[in-house]
Amino acid sequence: MAGGFTPCDAAALAPGSTVWRTASVALYRLQENCGEAASPACDALRGKPLGAILTAHSQVVAGINYKMQCGVGDVLLTLLVFEQRWSRTLELVTASVHSQNGDDLGLVLDPLRLDLSGANTRYTAADLHVPGLSASVFLPPLTGHAARRGVLEPYYISSRFDWGSMVGDVRITSADDGAAHTLLGSSDWRWPHDPTWTEAGVGLASEFGCGEDGVRCAGGWGAYEAGSLNGVLGYDEAAAGESFLKIGVGALVKGSCPGCNATDPADLYRFNRPYQLAERPDWQLVGVSKTSVSLRHSATLRGWGYRIERTVRMSAREDGERGGELTMETVLANTGTHAFSTPFYSHNLYTIDSQPSGPPWAVHLDMAAPQRYSSAAWGSAVEEFFRLDADGTFIATSSVSEDVLMKATFLGDSNNTQSSRNGSFTMEHGDVRISSSLGGTSEGEALYSYAMYVERDIISPEPARMISVAPGESVSWVQRTSFALESALAAEEAHAQSHKGWVARMLLCVCIVALVSPAFLKRRRQINELAARGANSLQSSLLATPQGSDEDAPYVKFPGTPILTGSSKSEAEGRA
C-alpha cells in the first residue's frame, strides 16, 4: 500500500542483493562505531558476519525506508535504513539487538544517524600521478599498522579478490581545457560500498581462480585440462571450521560463508560468498613513490604456501603528451611443498564518469573469431545490447538497465590462436581510449579463457591466464594498461602532419630559389642598366615574365623590391 511498508520477496533477501549489501554495510559500520566500547549490544555483534536477512520491508517515501531483521551470530539485529539512490544518500536511522528469546540487549546507535553511503569515508590509498594522468592504489590493512577507525579505512577486506590489486579512480585530464574523465571509479560498482562483500572490488581487481563455485576448475582453451585449483589451497583436506588458503587473501574458515554448511567437511567452495578470515593476513608496504607502489604478501598452511610481490607503476607517454601507462607486475612464489596450478584474471571493472554502460562504448577484443561465443544462460544475450562490427569490435547499441546482466564466453576452438595470446583489448568511449594486455609467464603461452561481462555499471573484458608453480619456484607476469585522450592523439597526429608540411614547404622554397635566382640576378643587372633610361623602360622590364619560367611562378621578395601580382599591376603602373 502506498505510504506503508510492504514485504520484500525472497530474491531481495539473498546474499549479494541490494538489501543484503545494505544490511551488511550497516553491520560493518556499527561494529566500527562500537569500537572497543563495552555494552551487551556491541559485545554481541563484535567480530560477527551477517548470517541471514530473516525479514525485510520497504516503504516508498522521498526515497525508500527499509526495516530489516537480521541474524548475526546468535542474536537478532533490527535495522531501519533510509536510502535515496539519486542523491547517493544511505543512512542508518536506528539499530537494536535482541537475543533469540527476545531479550532486549539495547540500542547500538546513538540518536544521530550513521552515514552508510561511503561519501564521507576516506580509504587508505597511495596516489600515483604523471602529467595528465593519476590513479589510486587502495592499500590492504598493513602488518604493523593499527587501523584508524573513522579516519582511513581499507577499501576491500573480503575473500574473493587479491587485496593488493585494488587500482582505480584513474583520472585523465586534457591540457587544452582542463576537462577530465574518471575511469574505474571507486563509487560506481556495487553501491553501497561494503568492504566485506566479495564483489566490492575496484578497477583492476584481480582473482586467482576461475570465477565459478567448486574447488577445481573446468578445462580451458587448448591443452588446459579440467582439475586446476580454483585459487584455493588446502581446501579438500580441511575439516569444517578449519582453515584453507585463498591466494591473494590469506587463511579463511571453511564453512563460514552465508549459505555454507558449517558442519559438512565436503561443503562446496563458493567463490562469491564472503568467508571469515582465520587470521589477519600479512601485507607489507615495501616501497612507495609518486609513480609506484610495491607490496608483499605471504601465507602458509599445512604444506601449502605462497608469496606475492606486486608492483604497480605509472609512466608518462614517451611523446610527452598527457596520459600514460599503468603496469601491474606480479611475482608469485610457491613456498610450500605442493605444486599448484590456478587461473588468474583481472576483472577490469571499467566505468567512465559514473555513466551507465551503453553508447558510445566500443570494445575490441584481440582474438581471431570474436563472433564465436556463448551467452550465459542466466543473463541477457550480448547481441541485444552490442553489435559486432566487421573488424571484431563490439559496438554498444543501447544502454544497459539496472536489472540486466550478461556474459559472453569466447570459444577456444576458434580463438586459441597466436593473435589472442597477448590477452589484449582496446576500449573507446568518446575521446577516451584504453589499451590493455595481460602478459604470460612464458613466451607464446596460450590463454586459459576469455570472457566479457557487462551490467549497468561496468564493462569487463576478462582474459585469463593459467599460472603453474612448482615448490620452491616462482613465476611472473605483467598487466599493461594505457590511457589516452583523442585530443592528445589528434594533436600528436597534427604535429606529425605539421612537421611533414614544414619540411615540404622548405624543400619547395629551396627549389623555387634555385629556379628563379638566376633570373633575379639577371634582372637586377637589367635594373641597373635601365635606371639611366627612364621610368617607363624600368616599369616594362619589371612587369615582364622571366624567360623560361611559368607565368604563375612566385617572386622572391628582396628588401625594397615590390611584389607584383595580377591584382596589383594597374596600381603599380599608375604610381609609375
Q: How confident is the model at residue 413 (pLDDT cuts 50, 70, 90)?
A: confident
10 has a pLDDT exceeding 50: yes
CA distance 478 to 150: 35
Indicate where the chain has its CATH 2.70.98.10 domain(s): 125-491
CA quadruple 398, 404, 405, 406: dihedral, nearest 10 = -40
Contacts of residue 364, defined as CB under 8 A and 6 or more positions apart, other chains included, come to 391, 392, 393, 394, 425, 426, 427
CA distance 530 to 325: 70
Q: How confident is the model at residue 111 (pLDDT cuts 50, 70, 90)?
A: low
Comparing 263 with 539, which gets the higher pLDDT? 263
CA distance 161 to 349: 12
Question: Mean pLDDT throughout 131-139?
Answer: 96
CA distance 363 to 396: 8
338 has a pLDDT exceeding 60: yes
Question: Mean pLDDT throughout 244-256?
Answer: 97
Q: Taking Cα atoms as reference points, which of 199, 201, 196, 204 lies closest to residue 170?
A: 204
Residue 165 · residue 477 · CB < 8 Å: no
Residue 432 · residue 352 · CB < 8 Å: yes
Indicate where the chain has its CATH 3.10.450.10 domain(s): 6-115
**Residue pLDDT, tens place only, 425-456:** 999 999 999 999 999 888 778 899 999 999 99
CA quadruple 481, 485, 489, 495: dihedral, nearest 10 = -130
542 has a pLDDT exceeding 50: no
Report the range out of 57-61, 317-321, 337-341, 532-536 with the highest average pLDDT: 337-341
CA distance 516 to 245: 84
Any idea which residue has 604444506 for its cell?
A: 303
Mapping DSSP onto H, E and C, the string for 547-561 reads CCCCCCCCCCCCCCC
Comparing 259 with 465, which gets the higher pLDDT? 465
Question: Mean pLDDT throughout 101-130?
Answer: 81
565 has a pLDDT exceeding 70: no
Q: H-type helices in 375-485, by residue range?
A: 412-415
Any idea which residue has 564518469 for its cell?
A: 353
401 has a pLDDT exceeding 80: yes
Question: Mean pLDDT throughout 410-435?
Answer: 89
Q: What is the residue-averaged pLDDT of the chain?
A: 84
Question: Is the CATH number of domain 125-491 1.10.3720.10?
Answer: no
Burial class (CB in 10 A: 0-12, 13-18, 19+), 439: buried
Q: Kindly state the DSSP code that residue 256 receives in the 8-state scheme.
A: -
Give the DSSP letter string of 388-411: E-TTSEEEE-SPPPTT-EEEEEE-
Q: Taking Cα atoms as reference points, which of 40, 44, 98, 50 lies closest to residue 71?
A: 50
What is the sign of the dihedral through the CA atoms of 440, 444, 449 and 452?
positive
pLDDT, position 147: 52
CA quadruple 570, 572, 574, 576: dihedral, nearest 10 = -150
163 has a pLDDT exceeding 90: yes
Comparing 291 with 538, which gets the higher pLDDT? 291
pLDDT, position 1: 42
pLDDT, position 253: 97
pLDDT, position 515: 43
Q: How confident is the model at residue 110 (pLDDT cuts 50, 70, 90)?
A: low
CA distance 317 to 310: 22
Integer-rounded Cα radius of gyration of the chain: 33
432: which strand partners?
429, 485
Question: Mean pLDDT throughout 313-325?
Answer: 88
Burial class (CB in 10 A: 0-12, 13-18, 19+), 468: middle
pLDDT, position 156: 96
535 has a pLDDT exceeding 70: no
Question: Mean pLDDT throughout 189-212?
Answer: 94
Least confident range from 51-60, 96-105, 276-285, 367-376: namely: 96-105
Determine how many CB atoms are found less than 10 A away from the CB of residue 425.
23
Comparing 185 with 106, which gets the higher pLDDT? 185
Grid cell locating 372: 564465436
Q: Percentage of residues in the chain with pLDDT exceeding 70?
A: 82
Grid cell locating 44: 554481541
497 has a pLDDT exceeding 70: no
Comparing 122 with 72, which gets the higher pLDDT? 72
Question: Mean pLDDT throughout 315-341?
Answer: 93
175 has a pLDDT exceeding 90: no
Q: Which fold has domain 6-115?
A: Nuclear Transport Factor 2; Chain: A, (3.10.450)
58 has a pLDDT exceeding 80: yes
Residue 240 · residue 263 · CB < 8 Å: yes
Burial class (CB in 10 A: 0-12, 13-18, 19+), 69: middle
Burial class (CB in 10 A: 0-12, 13-18, 19+), 299: buried
Q: Which amino acid is at 388?
A: L
pLDDT, position 505: 52
405 has a pLDDT exceeding 90: yes
Grid cell locating 163: 587485496
Grid cell locating 544: 615582364
User: Residue 271 belongs to what H/E stretch?
Assistant: none
Contacts of residue 517, defined as CB under 8 A and 6 or more positions apart, other chains included, come to 556
Q: How confident is the model at residue 422 (pLDDT cuts 50, 70, 90)?
A: confident
CA distance 143 to 126: 16
